[in-house]
Amino acid sequence: MSKLWQKDNTAVNAKIEKFTVGRDPEFDLLLAEFDVLGSLAHTRMLASIGLLEDTELNAVQAELKNIYQTIQQGAFVIEEGIEDVHSQVELLLTRQLGEAGKKIHSGRSRNDQVLVDLKLFTRARLQTLATATQQLFELLIQLSDKFKDVLLPGYTHLQIAMPSSFGLWLGAYAEGLVDDMEMLQTAYRLANKNPLGSGAGYGSSFPLNRTMTTQLLGFDNLHYNVVYAQMSRGKTELFAVTAIAQIAATLSRLAMDICLYNSQNFGFIKLPDEMTTGSSIMPHKKNPDVAELLRGKTNRLKGLPNEIMLVMTNLPSGYHREMQVLKEVLMPAFDEILDCIDMTHFMLSGIEVKTGILDDPKYDLLFSVERVNELVLQGVPFREAYRIIGNEINNGAYQPNRHLQHTHEGSIGNLCNAQITEMMQEVVARFGFEKVEQAIENLLQ
């Protein structure tokens, strides 16, 4: 089967074909539904400028929607010898409609087709990721409220420092996800710009209405400059995997805490037996493999931004074929982070916390700051109070005061989880998912 770009009486060496195509067909299947959505918008625009007759438009739109249904049913394939998803969709249209199917490529290049497909794919996957992140956030807040009064040692340098609580610990990761959601929103904003109509990177002599396709596809705005529209490839992927890496960093740190806290030397939490694995020779072992694998998988995801930057290093303006391999970095990353979020949610749902941890005399020194502050409240200057309690500790005269008086915002006694939840809700509301969903629904009607 000849390629869209292939000239008569030319053929590509089979070895070159295999190398240049790579894994593209595998990942192109994930773009199929978005390729159809782009074509639905593009063909409406072509009709508006007189490049498709009304009867041709109606036929093309109906057949594109049939193809979309085939994709949703999992029956869409890229046939042997067909180069990519764009060629396959055009082939299916041409088989059914003849000349009308051949017209849909007017005013469009494969360069801006793949760009718009990737923008739509990334936008959709970022929405899915935002939803999953919000659900994990809500569980963390719920658990933080549930265990707000159960005290826990706080550490700096892995040395006992001051009293903490399970509410404070879990709430910290919840608020961390709020900042991660801000990063997701930044990636979403970039993914939600329309490159369609930029062609091969230098526009078209057709009087394309790019504002129309922007509105039809629910994009927030255009990539106006056609050269930059092409240059946004790589940057869109970088922003997306950077957002993924930030969530991964939060999850990996939480996983490490769980590995520590679940160990016998800490003994602060217990994972249910069904969440642990055993040893082939040690009958007592209950290993936190889930948390360890989460730590490993999320740590690997943290390296993805560097992969993108290395692929894009020193590229001049315009399209370059190595951009194709960015799909291999971006697309699996969404599945991996979503799987990690799901497993973190499952693991936290079954976690058991130990009560009375700080009653153990080995944690007496955690309350030294409480004693210092007690003296300060009685009028002793802070540096003098610090010296007095330090001497008591050195002389063995120190007696802890386990009565905590933490009332300021964000402390043990005032977690401010309602305010943190409000921040998350405000970030989620700014995505504007409803506008996009309505635009896609209108396209498919």
User: Do 28 and 55 have their domain in common?
Assistant: yes
Q: Tens digit of pLDDT for each residue in 84-107?
A: 899 899 999 999 999 999 999 999
Has residue 92 been placed in a domain?
yes
Quote the tokens at residue 221.
């705005």
Is 9 within a domain? no
Same domain assignment for residues 301 and 184 = yes
Q: Are residues 273 and 373 in the same domain?
A: no
Query: Which range of residues forms the domain containing residue 179?
Result: 111-148+163-202+221-359+410-439
CB under 8 Å, gap of 24 or more: what pairs does 324-328 form? Answer: 324/22, 324/24, 325/22, 326/233, 326/234, 326/237, 327/23, 327/24, 327/27, 327/118, 328/22, 328/23, 328/27
Q: How many domains in the chain?
A: 3
Q: Is residue 252 domain-resident?
A: yes
Are residues 277 and 139 part of one domain?
Answer: yes
Marked catalytic residue, from 157, 284, 403, 408: 157
> Is position 223 annotated as part of the catalytic site?
no
Query: pLDDT of 366-402, one tens digit each?
Result: 999 999 999 999 999 999 999 999 999 999 999 998 8
One-letter identity of residue 268: F
> Is residue 157 flagged as an active site residue?
yes
User: Are 58 and 131 part of one and the same domain?
Assistant: no
- The CA distance from 31 to 254, in Å, is 33
Ramachandran sector of residue 190 (left: φ over 0; alpha: ψ -120 to 50; beta: rest): alpha
pLDDT for residue 274: 79
Residues whose CB is less than 8 angstroms from the CB of residue 54 and which lie 6 or more positions away in sequence, other chains included: 47
* Domain-located, residue 2: no
Q: For position 1, what pLDDT does the model report? A: 45
pLDDT band at 321 (very low <50, low <70, confident <90, very high): confident
Mean pLDDT of the chain: 92
Q: Which of 2, 279, 317, 349 is catalytic?
A: 279
Q: Let me know whether 102 and 123 are in one domain.
A: no
In this structure, are 90 and 102 located in the same domain?
yes
* Whether residues 250 and 365 fall in one domain: no
CATH code for the domain in which residue 343 is found: 1.20.200.10
Q: Dump pLDDT digits (tens) for 228-257.
A: 999 999 999 999 999 999 999 999 999 999
Residue 80 pLDDT: 85
**With 80 as the cut, is the pLDDT of residue 19 above it?**
no
> Does residue 124 share a domain with residue 36?
no
Residues 43 and 117 in one domain: no
User: Is the predicted pLDDT of residue 352 greater than 70, yes or no?
Assistant: yes
Instruction: With respect to residue 370, please indicate whether it lies within any of the assigned structural domains.
Output: yes
Considering the domain boundaries, does residue 209 fall inside one?
A: no
Q: Which residue has the higher pLDDT, 429 or 13?
A: 429
What CATH number is attached to the domain comprising 96?
1.10.275.10
pTM for this prediction: 0.92
* 4-21 burial code (b ≥16 CB/10 A, e <16): eeeeeeeeeeeeeeeeee
Q: Are 122 and 191 in contact (CB under 8 A)?
A: yes
**pLDDT band, residue 287 (cuts 50/70/90):** confident
